[in-house]
């Protein structure tokens, strides 16, 4: 089967899909991933076909964008997805949360689709919507209702609904309201696989059948990657350092974030590896790095302080080291709360409240209290034993058998 993954998002979203895509390829499927040009590297490094999507979602995701600019990005995305429907061949579409509009593409192509989500957005009483402004529980009924409203009344209101209407019209599909689309999704028990460890997020008991929590989809280490000798020498030159990084946000104010991290390390008396937008040896005890695979780097750390993106959270858990949660936006406060609840991190520090003194205190606690490391190591054993890609591969294989050979649709 030809499987097309709609990987809308930044590098942290695309990389797990590349790992999943390799597993599907090993099972005999032809795999392509549609991703924005700036984040194509994980796809091409994995030897998978990359279908370019126009635009860059980073400014939209960080909230530093005007309504007109967001509309322009959304229209670019819709145009890119519509072109996929018009020009590509596929037997199955796998859709991330941000690529949900791909359901229209699958409908127009006459092929099935499944969800491959990195965030748990389906209604549950266990927690409020993870992609909204709600941070505390609204009660079980309120949590479920708020999550359902997020499907039926998109956060961007008429803008996204209007884009969906335009896209369906362009693809020759009958109009449907967000509420009707959600009802169809639920009545057909549209399958959704979540690339999250059930040890980190247990499957909510009130989820309907078809919503599964499988385990993480691990990104591949880039081909021919080797650690820089400077990094190797730094790691060997003293006690285990701590990691500080802020994800895709780092490039926006690299000097400011780097200065904050350096001051925190100085207050805590710790060595550090920084991924804050700069590169080079900043002092005898601080090294700033560029892209270094977290699965290689994190096990060398005494603790990892990060923005709590889903992929970075998973890499930290797998490494078995304590965390310091510094959530910035979107689903990050949710993952920060999970790290704290699991006992592998002290209380989170919202990024807007981050100061050198607060970061230093949290790093000191994470490094010196042995309970955090003990819990992190125990959690790592369970998470590392999981095969999160297997249930997705099995579902795609079952579909291949059910559809039979030679049924690709243009």
What is the pLDDT confidence band of residue 6, given thresholds at 50, 70 and 90? very high
Q: What is the pLDDT of residue 101?
A: 83
- Residue 402 is encoded by which pair of tokens? 């059910």
Exposed/middle/buried for residue 343 (C-beta within 10 Å: 0-12, 13-18, 19+): middle
Q: Is the dihedral of CA 55, 329, 151, 21 positive or negative?
A: positive
**Mean of pLDDT values over 160-164:** 66
**Mean of pLDDT values over 263-288:** 94
pLDDT over 90 (residue 353): yes
Please state, rounded to an integer, the average pLDDT across all residues of the chain.
Answer: 89
280-326: pLDDT as tens digits: 999 999 999 998 999 999 999 999 999 999 999 999 999 999 999 99
Q: What is the pLDDT of residue 282?
A: 93
Q: In 3-state terms, what secondary structure has residue 204?
A: coil
Q: Where are the domains of the chain?
A: 2-118+153-217+388-403, 229-384
**Mean of pLDDT values over 222-247:** 92
The superfamily in CATH containing domain 229-384 is Glycogen Phosphorylase B; (3.40.50.2000)
Q: What is the pLDDT of residue 73?
A: 79
The DSSP string of 5-35 is EE--SSHHHHHHHHHHHHHHHHTT-EEEEEE
| Residue 254: partners with Cβ closer than 8 Å, 6 or more residues away | 276, 277, 278
Q: Which residue has the higher pLDDT, 243 or 81?
A: 243
> Is the distance from CB of 201 to CB of 120 less than 8 angstroms?
yes
**Mean of pLDDT values over 359-372:** 97
Q: What is the pLDDT of residue 247?
A: 79
Q: Do the domains 2-118+153-217+388-403 and 229-384 sit in the same CATH topology, yes or no?
A: yes
What is the pLDDT confidence band of residue 158, given thresholds at 50, 70 and 90? very low
Rounded to whole angstroms, the Cα distance separating 38 from 56 reads 7
Q: What is the pLDDT of residue 72?
A: 78
Q: Would you tell me the crossing angle of helices 178-187 and 158-170 to the nearest 10 degrees?
A: 70
**Mean of pLDDT values over 108-114:** 94
Q: Give the percent of the chain with pLDDT over 70.
A: 91
Least confident of 32-36, 97-101, 160-164, 310-314: 160-164
> What is the CATH number assigned to the segment(s) 2-118+153-217+388-403?
3.40.50.2000
Q: What is the pLDDT of residue 77?
A: 86
Exposed/middle/buried for residue 311 (C-beta within 10 Å: 0-12, 13-18, 19+): buried
Q: Is the dihedral of CA 8, 10, 12, 14 positive or negative?
A: positive
208-230: pLDDT as tens digits: 999 999 999 998 877 778 899 99
| Residue 402: partners with Cβ closer than 8 Å, 6 or more residues away | none
pLDDT over 60 (residue 155): no
What is the pLDDT confidence band of residue 354, given thresholds at 50, 70 and 90? very high
pTM score, whole prediction: 0.92
What is the pLDDT confidence band of residue 48, given thresholds at 50, 70 and 90? very high
- Which of 4-18, 80-94, 253-267, 375-389 tops mean pLDDT? 375-389
pLDDT over 90 (residue 159): no
Least confident of 105-114, 173-182, 186-195, 235-244: 173-182
**Mean of pLDDT values over 346-354:** 93
- Long-range pairs for 278-283 at CB < 8 Å and ≥24 separation? 278/254, 281/230, 281/234, 282/258
Which is nearest to 36 in space by CA: 12, 3, 19?
12
């Amino acid at each position: 089967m030809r499987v097309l993954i709609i990987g809308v998002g930044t590098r942290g979203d695309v990389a797990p899909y590349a790992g999943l895509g390799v597993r599907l390829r090993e099972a005999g499927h032809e795999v392509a991933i549609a991703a924005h040009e700036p984040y194509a590297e994980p796809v091409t490094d994995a030897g998978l076909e990359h279908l370019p999507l126009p635009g860059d979602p980073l400014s939209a995701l960080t909230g530093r964008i005007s309504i007109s600019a967001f509309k322009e990005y959304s229209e670019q995305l819709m145009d890119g997805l519509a072109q996929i429907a018009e020009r590509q061949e596929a037997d199955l579409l796998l859709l991330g949360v941000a690529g949900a509009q791909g359901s229209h593409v699958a409908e127009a192509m006459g092929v099935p689709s499944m969800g491959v989500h990195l965030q748990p957005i389906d209604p549950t009483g266990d927690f409020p919507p993870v992609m909204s402004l709600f941070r505390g529980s609204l009660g079980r009924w309120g949590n479920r209702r708020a999550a359902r409203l997020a499907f039926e009344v998109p956060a961007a209101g008429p803008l996204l609904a209007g884009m969906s209407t335009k896209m369906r019209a362009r693809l020759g599909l009958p109009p449907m309201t967000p509420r009707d689309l959600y009802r169809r999704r639920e009545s057909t028990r549209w399958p959704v696989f979540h690339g999250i460890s059930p040890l980190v997020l247990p499957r909510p008991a009130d989820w309907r059948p078809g919503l599964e929590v499988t385990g993480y989809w691990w990104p591949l280490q880039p081909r021919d990657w080797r650690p820089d000798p400077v990094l190797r020498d730094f790691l060997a030159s003293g006690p285990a350092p701590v990691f500080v990084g802020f994800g895709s946000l780092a490039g926006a104010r690299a000097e400011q974030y780097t200065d904050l991290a350096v001051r925190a390390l100085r207050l805590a008396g710790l060595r550090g590896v920084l991924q804050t937008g700069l590169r080079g040896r900043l002092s005898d005890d601080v090294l700033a790095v560029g892209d270094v695979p977290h699965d290689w780097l994190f096990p060398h750390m005494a603790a990892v302080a990060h923005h709590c993106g889903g992929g970075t959270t998973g890499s930290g858990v797998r490494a078995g080291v304590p965390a310091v949660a510094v959530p910035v936006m979107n689903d990050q406060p949710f993952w920060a709360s999970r790290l704290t609840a699991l006992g592998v991190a002290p209380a989170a520090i919202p990024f807007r409240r981050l100061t050198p003194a607060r970061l230093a205190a949290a790093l000191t606690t994470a490094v010196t209290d042995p309970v955090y490391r003990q819990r992190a190591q125990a959690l790592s054993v369970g998470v590392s034993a999981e095969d999160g890609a297997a249930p997705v591969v099995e579902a795609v294989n079952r579909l291949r058998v059910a559809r039979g050979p030679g049924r690709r649709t243009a």
